[in-house]
Amino acid sequence: MRRIFKLTLLVSLAFTFLTFNRTLGAHVASFFAQDRVDFVRDIQPIFQAHCAQCHGAEKQSSQLSVLNKTSIARVLVPGNSKNSRLVHRLLGLNGEARMPKGGEALKPEQIAMIQRWIDEGADFPVSASVEAKSTRHWSLVTPVSPAIPSVRNKSWVRNPIDSFILARLEKENLKPSPEADKATLLRRLSLDLIGLLPTPEELEAFLKDNAPNAYEKQVERLLASPHYGERWGRHWLDQARYADSNGYTIDGERVMWPYRDWVIQAFNEDKPFDRFTIEQLAGDLLPNPTKAQLVATGFHRNTVINEEGGVDPEQARVEQVMDRLSTTGAVWLGLTIGCAQCHTHKFDPIPHKEYYQMLAFFNSTMDVNNQGPVVPVVRGEMFGKPETIADPNDATMARRNMMTGELKQGDWERMEIARLERNPAVTAPNQAVEWLPFDIVKFDTEAAGKLQRLDDGSFLIAANGSANDAYRILVRINSPRVAAVRLRVLPHEALPKNGPGLAGDGTFALSEFYIDSEGGRHSFNDAFADDEQSSFPARAASDGDRRTGWAVTVAADNPKPHEAVFVYAKPKEFASRQIQFVMRHDAETGRGIGHFAIEVATETPHDARGAALLTALKQPLNARTPEQQTLVAAAYASARAVRERQAGNAVMAMIMRDVAVPRESYIFRRGDFTRPDKAAGLLQPGVLSAVAPVLSEPGTPRTRLDLAKWLVNPANPLTPRVTMNRIWMRYFGRGIVETEEDFGTQGARPSHPELLDWLATEFIRQGWSMKAMHRLIVNSATYRQSSSARKDLVDIDPRNLLLARQERFRVEAEIVRDAALTASGLLNPKIGGPSVRPPQPDGVYAFTQNRKNWTTATGADRFRRAMYTHFFRSAPYPLFTTFDTPDFQQVCTRRHRSNTPLQSLTLANDPAFLEIAQGLAARLVRDVPGEFAATLDARLKQAFTLCFSRPPNAAELAALHSYVERQVQGFTRQPVSSLVNKDLTQAGLTEAQAAALTAAARVLFNTDNFITRE
């Protein structure tokens, strides 16, 4: 009996890191109860089972390892268990938390055993003492470029990557796979680098090229292709949680495509990853930021926004700020920082407090839920080729009236006369009207601004609200009739330069002013003011265009009150008498009105200046007085200035800015923003102390720029590893660290740790060049291997972790469509710009709360790459959802890759794919002209080349050939017009032949081969 136990003990000791069987431990304890306590036999197993996870070889919480003789000596007094801290902690004495923390208490007999051991002298054999492996988790140690391992099969090695891979394979006595054939290589390379299939011409050129560097030349060609930026930009957009809508119920459209353009351009110009990082996280904080650097900060404006009524703006703001931190953690650090929102991270060194210190970096941004800073951007601007002329095909732009292009004076005069004649204030009798007060029901702002009412009934807003806040004042009017509203802007000593605006120079820019009542918006028909800037006339605050607005000239330090009067063409009757004034400030950043008052009138007041202008305009040019000429010239100049602001295709891109005075940051108890822990003190922005390097002591307040620089500091152990691991993942289907999103202690260990470190250090050595890293990987022999399965690997390495072959995997949703578009030749290769709306089935928005605008593209935009398809978070394009594109409510660092019947139904029956199949059939007829039967095999071979970049083998050709013949017969008996493209019949095919050829194209699109990168 005793021997058996001894044997068991030996076995369990042999596996030092296996959890000791608790029951066995207890048995042993009682069995040996009469003997002197032996550390190895009696104590070590208890420590192993209950303490070593936190205080062992791998990890030493509070620098304590109970398995190390020296370390444990700190917490015990030999011969005196009563005074030993170890025992106190196990019993939970002295008000300290009982150990094991968060686990079950040790059994009384186990504690008694430990006490006896201490009382007997705490004998700890040196041979049993285990040294701490490392005080740090592997991923937190700054990588050092490792030695390149030597290998036996030196001729296989093309670059150091191969040495690392081969050394490991040779250790397992495995041979790498042969290089894939050239056709497969080019298809693989094209899909991986640009996400498009090679054209037959590209394929032919490569097959004919017998130069030793033929492959490398293809790599360079593809890396230089502008489509490279699209392919790798799309991967990045996953991490940026890019979408074209705000999310939640309302899910309104947003302008985010300039940021997408910026990403594409950044990849194409191979912006070094450190710059790439800094510009996206803190471009606005760089000295004199360029517009591109501002647009780059759109990265963190990709958060979801809840536009529902009754949303607490502060709660929404905090949720977005938290999302920004967890996204930053996932993308750059590969750490699950979000876990520390409610408590100190259970497994990784992320204390609760440090979470909130890191959060503080993001806590001072201007945006508050749906209000935030913007910058005007025109199409092509991010590519350095601004298109100042609007696209005539763009319906929205065309609708945004004829207000584009040069404004000719004759045209303007006609429009201006019409406007003035519609303006009732121009024709109203020239007499004073009574301006009436009203009862205030409620007032607030959409974002964080704190509006206050002064004793004289005017409103004042303290500076430092949101950059583009909107004010809402709900009132009860005494008479239901409203003909006009007067908005007075007033100086105030609390404002910069005494106001009346919030801008540093005392100015403001009111973009829109209107009334909401009885469930509807009641925009004014026109407006006039006693003072206005030429490019900001009062009427522009009633024109429905948020890019334009009203501003007054502000005399330095001596501002005067001014007023604008907004009029209705016909006085309105508000039966409920409840009306809400809304003042928007979207045209300019940080230029809200600071001090103002509002009154209403039941009669229309007279606009003397408008009347004078109308009179002048009605005079023939040569009959105008000098005063009239001046008046007209000023009005014309103003109109042109406004037109310039509307200039063609400028849109307002969402960017990041900080408020002037940083917000106060505290720990939130249990992650609840309503429970700031003020007792714990105000927090300064800070980084994770467990991750090198240490931030220097702040001279000035730390900002996002400090955070960004810390992330890409070469001493940061995580950023280069995490980034290279993800790049690797795109090429081999899996990262070297498989849990690419978790480099913490709960994540997977790297399969090739030295390779990962080599790649990380090489990345920095090559100046953070992503193209250099792509070049390195795709030129390796490892990458060039065949992906075919090998029987000899099935048992040894079934998951292909050692990479004795390449990996076969299905392409992403977007590439499924892009591949079909390339094969058919329908692809419109245009890069960048606003999102487009290709055909989608009816009813996708049947139940969305707000009907979405989906005017199906008819022109060239119908066949753009899938990454440009407008992405509504609440109802994504069906193809995307079916093929595992996430809905981008949060960061996505790795997509799932499912294989479902819904995918089959989409590829087979989605009319969008049917249209592309018709396109492919038409292309086959164009590429191989001739009589149907005589050319059939040639056309099918061409189809294989287009779809798979290879010719069919005999069996494949025979199968497809007989399928087509059978379909021709079938369709002759029973015509199917839905498969017939008129280009085909015009080329001389019968309807049955045309349908059969389309059917064949459809078969090819539906094969596994087509949607798989081999």
Residues 892-911 that bind other proteins (CB under 8 A): 894, 896-906, 908-911
Nearer of residues 241 and 562 to other proteins, judged by Cβ: 241
User: What distance in Å separates the CA atoms of residue 188 and residue 195, rounded to the nearest whole number?
Assistant: 9
* Range 832-861, binding other proteins (CB under 8 A): 841-843, 846-849
User: What distance in Å separates the CA atoms of residue 26 and residue 73, rounded to the nearest whole number?
Assistant: 25
Segment interacting with other proteins, rule: CB under 8 A, options 245-253, 404-412, 465-473, 919-927: 245-253
Query: By CB under 8 A, is residue 479 in contact with other proteins?
Result: no
Residue 735 to residues 439, 732, 814: CA-CA distances in angstroms? 65, 7, 21
Nearer of residues 141 and 902 to other proteins, judged by Cβ: 902
* Range 803-832, binding other proteins (CB under 8 A): 808-810
* Range 558-587, binding other proteins (CB under 8 A): 576, 578
Contacts of 863 (CB under 8 A, 6+ apart): 821, 826, 827, 828, 838
Nearer of residues 53 and 848 to other proteins, judged by Cβ: 848
Nearer of residues 348 and 367 to other proteins, judged by Cβ: 348
User: What distance in Å separates the CA atoms of residue 981 and residue 976, rounded to the nearest whole number?
Assistant: 11
Distance in Å, CB of 790 to other proteins, minimum: 8
Distance in Å, CB of 938 to other proteins, minimum: 18
Contacts of 77 (CB under 8 A, 6+ apart): 83, 84, 118
Distance in Å, CB of 456 to other proteins, minimum: 25
Nearer of residues 266 and 793 to other proteins, judged by Cβ: 793
Nearer of residues 906 and 945 to other proteins, judged by Cβ: 906
Residue 748 DSSP code:
P
Q: Are 279 and 285 in contact (CB under 8 A)?
A: no
* Range 651-690, binding other proteins (CB under 8 A): none
Helices (H), 269-312: 273-282, 291-296
Q: What are the beta bridge partners of residue 596?
A: 459, 489
Contacts of 780 (CB under 8 A, 6+ apart): 158, 159, 161, 162, 165
Residue 300: closest CA among 800, 706, 655: 655
Distance in Å, CB of 628 to other proteins, minimum: 48
User: What distance in Å separates the CA atoms of residue 798 and residue 793, rounded to the nearest whole number?
Assistant: 6
Among 884, 927, 983, 991, binds other proteins (CB under 8 A): 884
Residue entry with tokens 């100042």: 388
Size of the site for other proteins (CB under 8 A): 105
Nearer of residues 208 and 973 to other proteins, judged by Cβ: 973
* Range 416-475, binding other proteins (CB under 8 A): 441-442
Among 75, 207, 311, 433, binds other proteins (CB under 8 A): 311
Distance in Å, CB of 310 to other proteins, minimum: 4
Quick one: tokens of 126? 């040196």
Nearer of residues 231 and 810 to other proteins, judged by Cβ: 810
Nearer of residues 236 and 248 to other proteins, judged by Cβ: 248
Q: What are the beta bridge partners of residue 444?
A: 472
Distance in Å, CB of 351 to other proteins, minimum: 16
Among 37, 51, 87, 339, binds other proteins (CB under 8 A): 339
Nearer of residues 339 and 461 to other proteins, judged by Cβ: 339
Contacts of 630 (CB under 8 A, 6+ apart): none
Segment interacting with other proteins, rule: CB under 8 A, options 137-145, 617-625, 752-760, 951-959: 951-959
Quick one: tokens of 886? 């996430």
Q: Are 554 and 594 in contact (CB under 8 A)?
A: no
DSSP string covering 32-70: TTTSPP-IIIIIHHHHHHHTHHHHSSS-BGGG--TTSHH
Strand locations in 367-423 (E): 374-377
* Residues constituting the chain: 1014
Q: What mask of x and - would describe binding to other proteins in positions 985 to 1004, judged by CB under 8 A?
A: --------------x--xxx
Distance in Å, CB of 529 to other proteins, minimum: 31
Nearer of residues 134 and 904 to other proteins, judged by Cβ: 904
How large is the angle between the packed helices 182-193 and 200-208, nearest 10 degrees? 130
Three-state secondary-structure class, residue 577:
coil
* Range 859-878, binding other proteins (CB under 8 A): 873-876, 878
Segment interacting with other proteins, rule: CB under 8 A, options 100-108, 333-341, 585-593, 861-869: 333-341
User: What distance in Å separates the CA atoms of residue 838 and residue 856, rounded to the nearest whole number?
Assistant: 6
* Range 788-807, binding other proteins (CB under 8 A): 788-791, 794, 798-799
Nearer of residues 109 and 308 to other proteins, judged by Cβ: 308
Distance in Å, CB of 59 to other proteins, minimum: 16
**No. of helices (H) and no. of strands (E), the chain:** 35, 15
Distance in Å, CB of 180 to other proteins, minimum: 10
Among 163, 265, 280, 336, binds other proteins (CB under 8 A): 336
Nearer of residues 85 and 894 to other proteins, judged by Cβ: 894
Query: By CB under 8 A, is residue 406 in contact with other proteins?
Result: no
Quick one: tokens of 20? 């000791």
Contacts of 249 (CB under 8 A, 6+ apart): 306, 307, 308, 849, 850, 874
User: What distance in Å separates the CA atoms of residue 723 and residue 277, rounded to the nearest whole number?
Assistant: 11
Q: Does a cis peptide bond (omega within 30 degrees of 0) precede residue 698?
A: no
Q: Are 640 and 524 in contact (CB under 8 A)?
A: no
Nearer of residues 532 and 742 to other proteins, judged by Cβ: 742
Nearer of residues 209 and 307 to other proteins, judged by Cβ: 307
CB-based contacts of 396-405 (< 8 A; 24+ apart in sequence): 397/648, 397/649, 400/545, 400/646, 403/643, 403/646, 404/643, 404/646, 404/647, 404/648, 405/648
Nearer of residues 29 and 331 to other proteins, judged by Cβ: 331
User: What distance in Å separates the CA atoms of residue 474 and residue 312, rounded to the nearest whole number?
Assistant: 18
Q: What mask of x and - would describe binding to other proteins in positions 955 to 984, judged by CB under 8 A?
A: xx--xx--x--xx--x---xxxxxx-----
Among 388, 427, 739, 766, binds other proteins (CB under 8 A): 739
* Range 756-795, binding other proteins (CB under 8 A): 787-791, 794
* Range 248-287, binding other proteins (CB under 8 A): 248-249, 251
Distance in Å, CB of 962 to other proteins, minimum: 9
Three-state secondary-structure class, residue 685:
coil
Nearest 5°: phi and psi at 471?
A: -105, 145
Among 287, 384, 519, 626, binds other proteins (CB under 8 A): 519
Three-state secondary-structure class, residue 526:
strand
Query: By CB under 8 A, is residue 747 in contact with other proteins?
Result: yes
Q: Are 760 and 724 in contact (CB under 8 A)?
A: yes
Distance in Å, CB of 715 to other proteins, minimum: 24
Nearer of residues 553 and 898 to other proteins, judged by Cβ: 898
Segment interacting with other proteins, rule: CB under 8 A, options 29-37, 157-165, 545-553, 950-958: 950-958
Quick one: tokens of 289? 């930021």
Distance in Å, CB of 136 to other proteins, minimum: 18
Distance in Å, CB of 945 to other proteins, minimum: 15
Cα end-to-end distance, the chain, whole Å: 60
Residue 456, judged by CB atoms within 10 A of its CB (0-12, 13-18, 19+), counts as exposed
